[in-house]
Homo-oligomer: A and B are copies of this chain.
Amino acid sequence: MSLDLYLTNKADFIEKQLEKALPANDIYPSIIHEAMRYSVLGGGKRLRAILALAACEVFSGSFEQAIGFACALEMIHAYTLVHDDLPCMDDDDYRRGKLTTHKVFGEGIAVLAGDALLTLAFEELAKMPEKYQVSTEVTIQLIKEVSEAIGSQGVIGGQVVDLDSEGKSIDSNVLEYIHHHKTGKLFIASLKGGALIGGANEEQLKAVVDFGTYFGLAFQITDDVLDLTGDATRLGKPVGSDTEQGKNTYPSIFGLENAQEMAKECILNCHQAVTSLPKTASILGDIADFILNRDH
């Protein structure tokens, strides 16, 4: 099976699971459920969820055991986007070519939809033992890993520093802090969580975390690079919008060519990180290559 097909199949599967996991539109009060579904469904590469399923499969796990975890990750990712897009944060009107949640439902409902998605993610995690036969010990470890990854010293910390550095010129340490936290931490948790469900041992978990660290960095750099070199239609936003908004990016701090080199090096490190893992881990390397070479 080609990687493209693998990714499409997995993304479709996750989409169906999310459809089921999210409350139906007609459940009272319907506007919040409409806003939650609008924010999560119908778009996105489902990269975090796919990495979780893939990491689980690398070990002895069947990916079905990791589905609840994967859905929780996508709900969390969606919640961060909904809150980041708010006028009091990045103030974005469009995301993936669609109006942002607050533009459609209003700011109050957008805040609450984000809150509800974060809450539902933890509910999903807590239901892993009954729905997917994950042990209570692993379930609790996952809840700890995820909450640490997305808390005030994780994803939220990254967004705080990002907010604070808007319009300021920052150095590469701050840029790295922002992206390692805002983007990297959730990728790492996705991979580590999947591997935990799959039954990875301590040493294997370490390798998976290394992979995730380089993967997150490569992902972010590529994102920044694509903003300058990509195709507007495929990106779903105008080319050069980061520059226009005065955003600090890898190309703006290191230069475009250096940034491209850095991304390549990160991908090499991704491959290096998984050499000690079972052969089935080659899928992770393939996904990393794909991300570096994507055009949107």
Q: Which residues of A contact B (CB under 8 A)?
A: 23, 27-29, 31-33, 36, 79, 83, 86, 88-89, 106-109, 111-112, 114-116, 118-120, 122-123, 125-127, 129, 136-137, 139-140, 143-144, 147-148, 150-153, 156-157, 159-161, 163-164
- Is A28 in contact with B147, judged by CB distance below 8 angstroms? no
Once bound together, how far apart are the Cα atoms of A108 and B118, in whole Å?
A: 17
CA gap between A126 and B148 in the complex, in Å: 11
Whether A156 and B23, one on each chain, are in contact in the complex, defined by CB atoms closer than 8 angstroms, is no
Query: How far apart sit A228 and B50, CA to CA, in the bound complex (Å)?
Result: 55
Measured in the bound complex, the distance between the Cα atoms of B79 and A126 in whole Å is: 21
* Nearest B residue to A90, CB-CB: B108
User: A29-B152, A115-B156, A140-B140 given. 9 additional CB < 8 A pairs?
Assistant: A83-B115, A86-B108, A88-B106, A111-B111, A116-B151, A119-B147, A122-B122, A122-B143, A126-B143
Number of copies: 2
A116 to B89, alpha carbons, bound, how many Å? 15
Q: Which residue of B111, B116, B137 contacts A136 across the interface (Cβ within 8 Å)?
A: B137
